[in-house]
């Protein structure tokens, strides 16, 4: 067994152990997490939620020695002077448990999970409840921790579900999370949007990054003037790969300037055809307001999260 396979197997076993112990953690926004940290004084983990949810440092005696050594060998925990810290974080979504990057997500290949993940899952579930056509083949573009792929695979166990991303760490975590959930119908592939996979799909879901990130971290940076570029690209590629009756469900964020929505303006010409039926709505008019203090957002009024749903009619 390779070192990578050992690490993934150890992570999977950790997830199973957490589930058996009734672990649950709902992940807040980074700003809320930061505020939680600030009021802790000198924070030190007291339980598993502190270690694997709040990403607090912990004393070596908090975990059993054999368990701790196994996690260290798999690079799941890191030693920092006299204290230890988890290199991964575990978040709950209904009865599912997702491994993703620890707080703070400063690495270029960090895999994010947060309030957007919960809203994205709810959007997919609502769409599938309203859809009566069978889903034989689906794909989650930019899968990250695999939220979209796992939600679809659980609801449609007979479907072939692809999870694609350009980030190798995301693909590894998605594979672990799918196995932990007992979902054998999810397969992770390296792909730049849909460039690495073939064929058409009955359902395409995506929750792309939508910020203008000066460090260009993959999970956060959407490209373009205000983070909209990747979302526009995904919409353009996805509608051309929909099977007849197939749908795209795209959850993203938009920087609103002078009351105008640049993402909607960009995708409307792509969908101006009787081949598609589509809806567009704001799910939350104001998120991540702290971003407006950063360079590049001087003209932005607010950041909204939106849902674009497209169905191929002919």
| C-alpha span between 82 and 37 (Å, rounded) | 20
Give the residue-averaged pLDDT of 193-198.
97
Whether 120 has a pLDDT exceeding 80, the answer reads: yes
The residues near 174 (Cβ < 8 Å, ≥ 6 apart) are 143, 144, 145, 146, 149, 150, 163, 165, 186, 188
% residues pLDDT > 70 (the chain) = 99
pLDDT in tens, 22-50: 999 999 999 999 999 888 777 899 999 99
Q: What percent of the chain has pLDDT above 90?
A: 77
Secondary structure letter of residue 289 according to DSSP: G
Report how far residue 33's alpha carbon sits from residue 246's, in angstroms, rounded to the nearest whole number: 38
Q: With a cut of 90, say whether residue 212 has pLDDT above it.
A: no
Res 189 pLDDT > 80: yes
- The Cα–Cα gap between 22 and 200 comes to 40
Instruction: Kindly tell me if the per-residue pLDDT of 4 is higher than 90.
Output: no
Looking at per-residue confidence, does 209 or 216 come out higher?
209
| Domain ranges (residues) in the chain | 3-101, 115-312
Q: Report residue 8: phi and psi, to 5°.
A: -65, -40
CA 282 to chain centre: 19
Smallest Cα–Cα separation from 152: which of 135, 133, 169, 166?
135
- Give me the pLDDT at residue 40, please: 79
Q: Say how far residue 270 (Cα) sits from the centre of its chain.
A: 25
pLDDT in tens, 220-253: 766 787 888 999 999 999 999 999 999 999 999 9
pLDDT, mean over the chain: 92
Domain 115-312 falls in which CATH fold? Rossmann fold (3.40.50)
């Amino acid at each position: 067994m390779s070192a990578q396979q050992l690490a993934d197997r150890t992570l999977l076993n950790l997830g199973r152990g957490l589930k058996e112990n009734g672990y649950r953690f709902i992940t807040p926004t980074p700003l809320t997490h930061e505020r939680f940290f600030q009021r802790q004084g000198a924070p030190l983990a007291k339980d598993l939620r502190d270690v694997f949810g709040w990403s607090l440092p912990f004393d070596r005696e908090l975990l059993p020695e054999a368990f701790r050594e196994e996690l260290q060998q798999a690079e799941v925990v890191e030693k920092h002077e006299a204290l230890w810290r988890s290199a991964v974080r575990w978040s709950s979504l209904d009865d599912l448990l997702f491994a993703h990057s620890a707080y703070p997500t400063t690495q270029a290949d960090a895999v994010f999970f947060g309030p957007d993940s919960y809203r994205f899952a709810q959007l997919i579930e609502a769409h599938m409840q309203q859809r009566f056509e069978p889903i034989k083949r689906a794909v989650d573009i930019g899968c990250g921790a695999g939220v979209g792929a796992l939600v679809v695979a659980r609801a449609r166990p007979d479907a072939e579900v692809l999870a694609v991303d350009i980030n190798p760490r995301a693909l590894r975590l998605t594979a672990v999370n799918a196995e932990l959930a007992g979902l054998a119908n999810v397969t992770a592939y390296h792909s730049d949007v849909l460039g690495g996979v073939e064929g058409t799909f009955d359902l395409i879901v995506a929750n792309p990054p939508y910020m203008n990130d000066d460090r260009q971290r993959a999970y956060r940076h959407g490209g373009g003037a205000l983070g909209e570029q990747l979302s526009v690209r995904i919409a353009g590629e996805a509608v051309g790969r929909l099977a007849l009756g197939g749908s795209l469900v795209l959850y993203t964020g938009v920087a609103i300037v002078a009351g105008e929505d640049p993402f909607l303006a960009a995708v409307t010409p792509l969908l101006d055809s009787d081949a598609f039926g589509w809806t567009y709505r704001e799910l939350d008019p104001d998120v991540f307001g702290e971003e407006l203090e950063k360079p590049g957002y001087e003209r932005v009024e607010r950041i909204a999260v939106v849902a674009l749903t497209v169905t191929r009619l002919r």
